[in-house]
């Protein structure tokens, strides 16, 4: 997708601090961190949002959670714990239209919504 900032990050057209990369998945630091550790984990395939998921994406989504767990381990927070957030659509507060998983950690994360 030409106008997608996360596709541009995948292609290296916008710089980012990468913490994980394989053929299908990229993990990089959020530019405006909401916690000491705030990593965005994204599929390289341009999927707009969770609502756009297709049956063929099921394995990819499973891999993303395995990658999140690996990144948490690499960042040294696997034992203390972390939170994963996916904002979906307008009411969910999604601002970037390329599916992304927020990995937040490094401090007690405060009030829970759920």
Report how far Cα 108 is from the mean position of its chain's Cα atoms.
19
Nearer to Zn ion, 1 or 59 (CB): 1
| Cα–Cα distance for residue pair 105/20, rounded to 1 Å | 16
**The binder of ligand 5GP chosen from 79, 95, 108, 114 (CB under 6 A):** 95
Is 63 buried (19+), middle (13-18) or exposed (0-12) by CB count in 10 A?
A: middle
CB of 36 to ligand 5GP, least distance (A): 14
**The binder of Zn ion chosen from 4, 50, 61, 109 (CB under 5 A):** 4
56 binds ligand 5GP (CB under 6 A): no
**The binder of ligand 5GP chosen from 1, 11, 14, 80 (CB under 6 A):** 14
* H helix or E strand, kind and range, residue 16: none
Q: Which of 2, 9, 23, 3 is nearest to 100 (CA)?
A: 9
List residues binding ligand 5GP (CB under 6 A).
5, 14, 16, 28-32, 40, 87, 93-96
List residues binding Zn ion (CB under 5 A).
1, 4, 6-7, 46, 98
């Amino acid at each position: 997708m030409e106008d997608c900032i996360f596709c541009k990050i995948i292609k290296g057209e916008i710089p980012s601090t990468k913490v994980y990369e394989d053929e299908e998945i990229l993990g990089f630091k959020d530019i405006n961190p909401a916690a000491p550790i705030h990593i965005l984990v994204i599929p390289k395939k341009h999927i707009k949002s969770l609502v756009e998921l297709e049956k063929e994406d099921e394995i990819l989504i499973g891999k993303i959670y395995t990658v999140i767990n690996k990144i948490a381990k690499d960042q040294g927070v696997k034992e203390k714990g972390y939170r994963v957030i996916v904002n979906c659509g307008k009411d969910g507060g999604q601002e970037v239209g390329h599916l992304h998983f927020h990995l937040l950690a490094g401090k007690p994360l405060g009030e829970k919504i759920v």
